[in-house]
Structure 1
Amino acid sequence: MNDYAEINQLVSRERLYRQRHADELADCYYPDATVATSWQAGSLDSFLHGEPAEVDPRFTIFGSISSPVIHQNGKRAFVELPTETHMRMMVHGVLTEIESYRRLIYRVEKRDQDWKIASMISINESDNLYPVIPGTSLKIDPKDLEGLRPSYQFLSYVRKAAGGEISSDLLGTDRPKEVDKIYGEAQNWVDHKE
């Protein structure tokens, strides 16, 4: 495979393994990798062995990805990967599903013979929350959504309802200057200008 095909397979595997295979997931990353998501930011270990408060162990998280856009320069690349994630959970006694749309920004490197992930950052784009069973009513007071960021308002709502916490300063498309900064830093890293 050429570098583009290897990088494409790497980020696709990472998303597939995220839900099913912890050992294989770890192998997609370098041991010193960092990961920033909605529920944690830090070392690879915190990403591999933690879960957000709203995750209900009775339900499997599933998702889909779009084709990645790869920006490569030699042995470094950053990858933009649009994703959609679905999680089922109970909200106010109603079986619901949240769908979250995100863009993942990976920094990948070829340090020896293989491409692996050096870091991953999640950018929130939008989300929806709805009852799973047709005809079921999910009542949410619109006042409870006031002040929640539009790029991840329902994720914030369900995490707080589950007793967890979520930062109001996560990356999101509703703050384009912060997103532009991430892209600029990624490009500088690829160009070895960091």
Structure 2
Amino acid sequence: MSKGEDIAEISELVARERLFRARHNPEIADCYYPDATVATSWQQGPLSTFIGSDSKEVDPRFTIVGNISPAVVHLNEKRAYVELPTCTHMRMMVNGTLAQIESYRRLIYRVEKRNGEWKISQMTSINENDDLRPVIAGQDLHIKSSDLEGLRPSYQFLAYVRKAAGGDISNDLLGTDRPEDIDKLYAQAETWLQQETKL
């Protein structure tokens, strides 16, 4: 298989993973290796903590809509890490008013080719920005600036609705407001990628 064919297959893999995630399709498990790990805004751990689960702010009455941009694939032999910009749109009730949150993230996948097949061995989410607004323009979400004090700007509204729904969220997630953490993640991904040539 040529490098171009590998890149196309990897790009299709991460796009399929996002589609299956939005649709709650159980076939998402086939995109991952059983020993994969996943780190998102609401969980960190083995694949079992991610598949079939949702964070507390998700309202089952509303469909989650996701958009992705083209993937950037960094390939070395049988390993690659992938950057996938994505935006998730979720509707929910906020202080009695129907609202929509838009959460912009960059997903970093590590993928490996084992036994001739590309699958995901790790996925990590970087929070970039978010926005919260009423679905019907002009309605009031009754959020005061003081309600957002202490919340990180890269995911402040996500943190607000998560806590309002009775959930919890770390103040130390990966976010664009802490670029040194992101630089460290990329350095680790590059080191892992280059290890392939030594195997």
Would you call these one fold, judging by a TM-score over 0.5?
Answer: yes
CA contact (8 A) 1:82 1:102 kept: yes
Q: Distance in 2 between matches of 1:112 and 1:11?
A: 19
TM-score by length of 2: 0.95
CA contact (8 A) 2:26 2:52 kept: no
Q: Distance in 1 between matches of 2:45 and 2:65?
A: 23
Q: Distance in 1 between matches of 2:104 and 2:152?
A: 14
- The one-letter amino acid of 1:105's match is I
Identity percentage of aligned residues: 66
Q: Secondary structure at 1:189's aligned position in 2?
A: helix
Does 136-145 or 8-17 show the bigger shift?
136-145
Matched residue, 1:38:
41
CA contact (8 A) 1:22 1:48 kept: no
Match of 1:92 among 87, 91, 95: 95
CA contact (8 A) 1:124 1:152 kept: yes
Matched residue, 2:66:
63
Query: Can you give the 5+ residue segments of structure 1 that lack an aligned partner in the other structure?
Result: none
Q: Secondary structure at 1:48's aligned position in 2?
A: coil
- The one-letter amino acid of 1:188's match is T
CA contact (8 A) 1:35 1:44 kept: yes
Matched residue, 2:111:
108
Match of 1:5 among 2, 8, 12: 8
- The one-letter amino acid of 1:3's match is D
Q: 1:80-130 CA distances to partner (integer Å, 9 max, x unpaired)?
A: 000000000000000000000000000000011110000000000000000
Q: Secondary structure at 2:195's aligned position in 1?
A: coil
- The one-letter amino acid of 2:138's match is G
Q: Secondary structure at 1:191's aligned position in 2?
A: helix
Does 54-63 or 20-29 show the bigger shift?
20-29
Q: Distance in 2 between matches of 1:54 and 1:183?
A: 29
Q: 1:146-169 CA distances to partner (integer Å, 9 max, x unpaired)?
A: 010000000000000000000000
How far off its partner does 1:21 sit?
A: 4.2
Q: Distance in 2 between matches of 1:35 and 1:59?
A: 24
CA contact (8 A) 2:175 2:182 kept: yes
Q: How many equivalent residue pairs? A: 194
CA contact (8 A) 2:24 2:52 kept: no
Query: Can you give the 5+ residue segments of structure 2 that lack an aligned partner in the other structure?
Result: none
Match of 1:170 among 148, 170, 173: 173
How far off its partner does 1:139 sit?
A: 1.7
Matched residue, 1:153:
156
Q: Distance in 2 between matches of 1:94 and 1:144?
A: 16
Q: Distance in 2 between matches of 1:107 and 1:188?
A: 12
CA contact (8 A) 2:64 2:89 kept: yes
TM-score by length of 1: 0.97
How far off its partner does 1:135 sit?
A: 2.6
Matched residue, 1:20:
23
